[in-house]
């Protein structure tokens, strides 16, 4: 009798609130995952993760969905990694740059001039070495499960004065991502590496705290850094750093094996989708940067390659076998 009365009461409440609002679509509670990225809406990585979320939502009948927090609203990459580790962020797309401070082996991918070109990088990421690296991150103490890679082209220098040789970098303060490897890289290339979060670079360029930075075309364009007077974009292509989509291990451990498999499957699809979006985005932002007066300077990269040999020797010392396998990848 009591149950029946409760049932009727709930029925009346449902009717007064509108039917769909209170009727669960499945037997399980809904899980809304916070997904985060430093890049703005529309950026290839943001779109790829959003689409991954839509596929997962469809495959689970709305039981699991993503809520995207783009544009670094949840913090810089270092802070977002920390939040992911404790489970405050569930899905994160981050460069491997700052991950190298947490999982040292990742620094092999972060070394200057490690990959011959983008085709070489893609072959490494899509093959067994890429999978091993994802597993390495997942099995490390980093408390994140690495689901897939995204790509970010190559990073070149942008400065207020033209740079053509390592000598031209002398005395210039260049912002690098937070990882000692990158400071060593810039110092070896001839400049002064300054570690700073992505979100602070615009003001630092504007106020002259730094003289330049380095990044790929879509980042240079969408961050508006080029509007601060850094109109020389020197094609050093010194870093080709992969990125990853990770899930907090706290969240991962709450999922059924079936749901975990869905994340791996749609993560891989996001990897492939982002790559297409990426190529279009590079073409589009290159054209827009040039139209805005940014000068792309072609340089001989050999002096920069030679200058950074000690960095590869230092960070690669413990991983000679892995480096040999990467170099042998066609
Ligand atoms: C971008 C990358 C971001 C972030 C940024 C930076 O190319 O996609 O994840 O690492 O560079 O320089 O901080």
Express each pLDDT in 20-67 by its tens digit: 334 444 456 799 999 999 999 999 999 999 999 999 999 999 999 999
Which tokens is 293 given? 């007066």
The reported pLDDT for the residue numbered 28 is 63
> Is the beta carbon of 281 within 6 A of some atom in ligand 1?
no
> Is the beta carbon of 222 within 6 A of some atom in ligand 1?
no
> Is the beta carbon of 182 within 6 A of some atom in ligand 1?
no
> Is the beta carbon of 243 within 6 A of some atom in ligand 1?
yes
Is it the case that residue 134 has pLDDT exceeding 70?
Answer: yes
Mean pLDDT, range 266-285, rounded to an integer: 98
Domain coordinates in residue numbering, the chain? 28-152+241-283, 155-240+284-328
The reported pLDDT for the residue numbered 7 is 39
For residue 60, the SS3 value is: coil
The reported pLDDT for the residue numbered 14 is 36
- The span from the CA of 211 to the CA of 175, in Å, is 8
- Say what the pTM is: 0.91
Which tokens is 108 given? 């092999």
Q: String of b and e for 135-173 (b: at least 16 CB within 10 Å)? A: eebbebebbbbbbbbbbbbbbbbbbbeebeebebbeebb
Task: Kindly give the distance from the C-alpha atom of residue 97 to the centroid of ligand 1, in angstroms, as a whole number.
Answer: 8
Is it the case that residue 4 has pLDDT exceeding 80?
Answer: no
Cβ neighbours for 293, distance < 8 A, ≥ 6 positions apart: 231
User: 225-275: per-residue pLDDT in tens?
Assistant: 999 999 999 999 999 999 999 999 999 999 999 999 999 999 999 999 999
Task: Kindly give the distance from the C-alpha atom of residue 219 to the centroid of ligand 1, in angstroms, as a whole number.
Answer: 7
Lowest mean pLDDT: which of 16-20, 71-75, 146-150, 287-291?
16-20
User: 67-120: per-residue pLDDT in tens?
Assistant: 999 999 999 999 999 999 999 999 999 999 999 999 999 999 999 999 999 999
Is it the case that residue 16 has pLDDT exceeding 90?
Answer: no
Is it the case that residue 215 has pLDDT exceeding 60?
Answer: yes
H or E element in which residue 310 lies? helix 309-316
- The span from the CA of 99 to the CA of 234, in Å, is 26
Is it the case that residue 210 has pLDDT exceeding 60?
Answer: yes
H or E element in which residue 286 lies? helix 257-291
H or E element in which residue 20 lies? helix 19-22
Is it the case that residue 278 has pLDDT exceeding 90?
Answer: yes
Tell me whether domains 28-152+241-283 and 155-240+284-328 share a fold. Answer: yes
Task: Kindly give the distance from the C-alpha atom of residue 151 to the centroid of ligand 1, in angstroms, as a whole number.
Answer: 11
93 touches 45 (CB < 8 A): yes
28-152+241-283: CATH, from 3.40.1010.20, 1.10.530.10, 3.40.190.170, 3.40.50.2000: 3.40.190.170
For residue 95, the SS3 value is: strand
155-240+284-328: CATH, from 2.60.40.1190, 3.40.190.170, 3.40.50.2000, 3.40.50.12160: 3.40.190.170
The reported pLDDT for the residue numbered 29 is 77
The reported pLDDT for the residue numbered 163 is 98
The reported pLDDT for the residue numbered 27 is 53
Task: Kindly give the distance from the C-alpha atom of residue 30 to the centroid of ligand 1, in angstroms, as a whole number.
Answer: 32
Is it the case that residue 5 has pLDDT exceeding 70?
Answer: no
User: 155-208: per-residue pLDDT in tens?
Assistant: 999 999 999 999 999 999 999 999 999 999 999 999 999 999 999 999 999 999
Cβ neighbours for 177, distance < 8 A, ≥ 6 positions apart: 77, 95, 97, 98, 195, 198
For ligand 1, atom 5, the nearest C-alpha belongs to 198
């Amino acid at each position: 009798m009591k149950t029946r009365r409760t049932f009727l009461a709930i029925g009346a409440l449902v009717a007064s609130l509108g039917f769909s609002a209170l009727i669960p679509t499945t037997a399980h509670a809904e899980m809304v995952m916070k997904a985060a990225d430093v890049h703005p809406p529309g950026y290839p990585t943001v779109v790829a993760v959003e689409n991954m979320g839509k596929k997962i939502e469809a495959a689970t009948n709305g039981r699991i969905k993503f809520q995207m927090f783009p544009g670094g609203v949840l913090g810089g990459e270092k802070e977002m990694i920390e939040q992911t580790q404790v489970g405050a962020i569930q899905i994160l797309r981050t460069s491997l740059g700052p991950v190298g401070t947490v999982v040292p082996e990742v620094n092999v991918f972060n070394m200057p001039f490690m990959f011959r070109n983008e085709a070489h990088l893609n072959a490494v990421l899509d093959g067994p070495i890429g999978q091993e690296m994802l597993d390495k991150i997942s099995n490390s103490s980093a408390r994140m499960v690495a689901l897939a890679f995204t790509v970010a082209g190559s990073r070149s220098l942008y400065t207020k004065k033209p740079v053509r040789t390592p000598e031209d970098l002398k005395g210039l303060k260049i912002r690098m991502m937070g990882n000692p490897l990158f400071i060593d890289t810039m110092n070896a290339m001839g400049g002064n590496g300054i570690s700073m979060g992505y979100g602070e670079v615009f003001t630092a360029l504007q106020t002259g705290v730094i003289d330049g930075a380095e990044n790929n075309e879509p980042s240079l364009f969408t961050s508006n850094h080029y509007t601060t007077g850094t109109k020389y974009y020197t094609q050093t292509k010194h870093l080709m750093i992969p990125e990853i989509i990770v899930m907090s291990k706290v969240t991962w451990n709450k999922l059924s094996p079936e749901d975990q498999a869905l994340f791996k499957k749609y993560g891989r699809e996001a990897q492939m989708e982002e790559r297409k979006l990426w190529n279009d985005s590079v073409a589009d932002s290159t054209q827009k940067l040039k139209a805005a007066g940014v000068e792309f300077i072609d340089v001989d990269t050999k002096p920069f390659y030679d200058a950074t040999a000690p960095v590869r020797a230092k960070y690669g010392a413990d991983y000679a076998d892995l480096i040999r396998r990467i170099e042998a990848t066609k």
